[in-house]
């Protein structure tokens, strides 16, 4: 059974594999990270961990039984009880409820472990899978946004105590 884990230095190799294996798949719905991301991955990973140590972000990976990363679930811009949620799931895991389960788990962590009271998330209008995940996980539409120049929908979820 997949397990949601807080990002650690030990996740770096599996996380890099996840990003490489799914690069083309992710680029179909979100901007590509670019070659520099992969060339500088070790430094980027260390920077994420340092940022996480400040409490401004909480990064998570969903690990399968073989130790491979199935997804990333991140809470960023943590302030005043709120954070923005971002996530991505491996192509091989789509259509099985993995994203919805991961989002629900990170929402529970946000409330119970990090003391957050509200999350926001956004997805482009043409990313119907992400829009569906957000709504299934209890997020409600809260307005229009532009995401890298593409029309999108901002969502909010209040985290009851």
Number of domains in the chain: 1
pLDDT-derived band at 161 (thresholds 50, 70, 90) equals low
83-142 pLDDT, tens digit each: 999 999 999 999 899 999 999 999 999 999 999 999 999 999 988 999 999 999 999 999
pLDDT of residue 150: 86
pTM confidence score: 0.93
Cα–Cα distance list, 40 to 1, 26, 120 (Å)? 31, 19, 29
CATH classification of the domain holding 125: 3.40.630.30
Q: Which domain holds residue 14?
A: 3-158
Distance, CA of 124 to CA of 145 (rounded, Å): 8
Q: Which residues contact 14 (CB under 8 A, 6 or more apart)?
A: 61, 63, 67, 68, 69
Distance, CA of 135 to CA of 28 (rounded, Å): 21
Per the CB < 8 A criterion, the answer to whether 29 and 124 are in contact is yes
35-88 pLDDT, tens digit each: 999 999 999 999 999 999 999 999 999 999 999 999 999 999 999 999 999 999
Classify residue 133 as exposed, middle or buried by CB count within 10 Å of its CB (0-12, 13-18, 19+).
buried
């Amino acid at each position: 059974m997949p397990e949601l884990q807080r990002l650690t230095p030990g996740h770096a190799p599996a996380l890099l594999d996840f990003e490489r294996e799914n690069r083309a798949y992710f680029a179909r719905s979100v901007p590509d990270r670019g070659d520099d991301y992969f060339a500088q991955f070790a430094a980027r990973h260390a920077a994420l961990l340092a940022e996480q140590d400040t409490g401004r972000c909480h990064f998570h990976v969903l690990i399968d039984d073989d130790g491979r990363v199935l997804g990333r679930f991140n809470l960023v811009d943590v302030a005043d009880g709120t954070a923005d949620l971002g996530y991505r799931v491996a192509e091989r895991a789509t259509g099985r409820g993995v994203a919805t389960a991961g989002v629900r788990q990170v929402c529970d962590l946000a409330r119970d472990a990090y003391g957050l009271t509200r999350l926001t998330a956004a997805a482009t209008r043409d990313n119907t899978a992400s829009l569906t995940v957000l709504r299934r996980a209890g997020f409600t539409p809260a307005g229009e946004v532009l995401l890298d120049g593409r029309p999108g929908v901002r969502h909010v979820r209040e985290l009851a105590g």
